[in-house]
């Protein structure tokens, strides 16, 4: 099994250290997307090398982003900020508010915070747990809660 859950941070301080950089966040997303190692969505190849933030298939050259098809796709917001937002939303037992999110992340506008909150709520299948093990399902990527995949059953993969 993947270590994604076992070594998942238990405190906010651990969390921020663990996901301090976009690379660290991407590595985590990659681990969740490909628990058994890289798999090319085009040819099924299992060898890849990094090209900037992308994984390039050694067999066919197809470049894959771990954020493709997720709520992180095309965002200009750094991944560590998204990750912090998810931690925070998941940890609000009484329900997260847009105002709270705006304050915690220092977002410029209430509208942005509101949009984020709703994106995150849509993506998080089981919010409101004391740490981010609630499964955040963003197409094929999951933040936390990998152990629930077995019981929920894998959905069929979408064809590109
Ligand atoms: Zn390939």
Non-local CB neighbours of 49 within 8 Å, separated by 6+ positions? 55, 56, 58
- Please tell me the predicted confidence (pLDDT) of residue 144: 44
- Please tell me the predicted confidence (pLDDT) of residue 49: 93
Task: Give residue limits of the domains in the chain.
Answer: 12-35+67-146
d(CA 138, ligand 1 centre) in Å = 22
Confidence of residue 140 (pLDDT cuts 50, 70, 90): very low
Calculated CA dihedral for residues 27, 36, 14, 93, nearest 10 degrees: 110
Confidence of residue 121 (pLDDT cuts 50, 70, 90): confident
For residue 141, count other CB atoms closer than 10 A to its CB: 21
Please give the structure tokens belonging to residue 22.
């976009």
Torsion angles phi and psi, residue 142, rounded to 5: -130, 135
- Please tell me the predicted confidence (pLDDT) of residue 21: 94
d(CA 122, ligand 1 centre) in Å = 31
**pLDDT tens for each residue of 9-55:** 778 888 889 899 999 988 888 887 888 899 998 999 999 998 988 99
**pLDDT tens for each residue of 64-103:** 988 877 777 777 888 898 888 888 887 777 778 899 989 8
Task: Return the ∠ at Cα 21 (arms to 24 and 101), rounded to 5°.
Answer: 110
CA quadruple 69, 8, 57, 157: dihedral sign? negative
146 and 137 Cβ atoms separated by less than 8 Å: no
Please give the structure tokens belonging to residue 49.
């090398």
d(CA 3, ligand 1 centre) in Å = 25
pLDDT > 70? residue 159 = no
Q: How far is CA 6 from CA 54, 109, 138, in A?
A: 26, 36, 21
- Please tell me the predicted confidence (pLDDT) of residue 126: 42
d(CA 53, ligand 1 centre) in Å = 17
If DSSP codes are grouped into helix, strand and coil, which group holds residue 132? coil
Can you tell me the mean pLDDT for 135-159?
A: 41
Name residues with Cβ closer than 5 Å to ligand 1, which is an ion: 40, 42-43, 45, 57, 59-60, 62
């Amino acid at each position: 099994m993947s270590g994604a859950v076992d070594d998942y941070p238990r405190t906010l301080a651990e969390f921020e250290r663990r996901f301090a950089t976009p690379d660290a966040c991407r590595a985590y997303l990659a681990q969740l997307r490909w628990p058994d190692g890289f798999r090319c969505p085009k040819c099924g190849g299992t060898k890849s090398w990094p090209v900037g933030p992308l994984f390039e298939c050694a067999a066919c050259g197809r470049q894959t982003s771990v954020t493709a098809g997720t709520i992180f796709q095309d965002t200009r917001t750094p991944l560590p900020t998204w990750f912090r937002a998810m931690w925070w939303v998941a940890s609000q037992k009484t329900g997260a508010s847009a105002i709270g999110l705006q304050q915690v992340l220092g977002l410029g506008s209430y509208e942005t915070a509101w949009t984020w909150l709703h994106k995150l709520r849509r993506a998080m299948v089981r919010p409101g747990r004391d740490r981010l093990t609630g499964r955040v399902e963003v197409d094929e990527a999951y933040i936390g809660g990998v152990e629930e995949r077995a019981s929920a059953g894998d959905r069929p993969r979408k064809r590109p």
